[in-house]
Structure 1
């Protein structure tokens, strides 16, 4: 199991990007959350099996049909939060 934090920049607000991220996470059995930031980015934390998380993050980096990801900063987190599901935070 691994735990990652990511900040996604680009055209990622107002285009359904959080719902895209949540859908991909649920489809892959990931746990965590996603939210918009005040700076116009999208922030997420995700936990899951290593290969599943890697594949998920690659998909997020590609973006949805309506978004345009220009950058994605990712870092592994040393501790687990033991999320119950993957949700969109307000």
Structure 2
């Protein structure tokens, strides 16, 4: 299991991007959360098996039909949080 933190920049608010991220995560069996930031970005943390997490992050980088990802900063985390599911945070 691996754990990552990411900040996604671009046109990612007001276009259903968090719901896209949640659907991608749930379809791949990922655990974690996603939320909008005050700066207009989207922040997420994700845990899962290495290949599935990498595939998930690549899908997030490509974005949804209505979004436009211009930058994505990804940071590996050393400790697992043992999330129970993948949620959208307020």
TM-score (norm 2): 1.00
CA RMSD of aligned residues (A): 0.2
Q: Aligned residue for 2:71?
A: 71
Equivalent residues in 2 for 1:8-87, closer than 5 Å: 8-87=8-87
Cα distance in 2 for partners of 1:73, 1:34 equals 14
SS, match of residue 18 in structure 1: helix
- Number of residue-to-residue matches in the alignment: 90
Cα distance in 2 for partners of 1:43, 1:75 equals 11
Structure 2: gaps of 5 or more residues: none
Runs of 4+ in 1 over 2 A off after TM superposition: none
SS, match of residue 7 in structure 1: strand
Structure 1: gaps of 5 or more residues: none
Structure 1 residues 29-83: Cα deviation after superposition (integer angstroms, max 9, x where no partner): 0000000000000000000000000000000000000000000000100000000
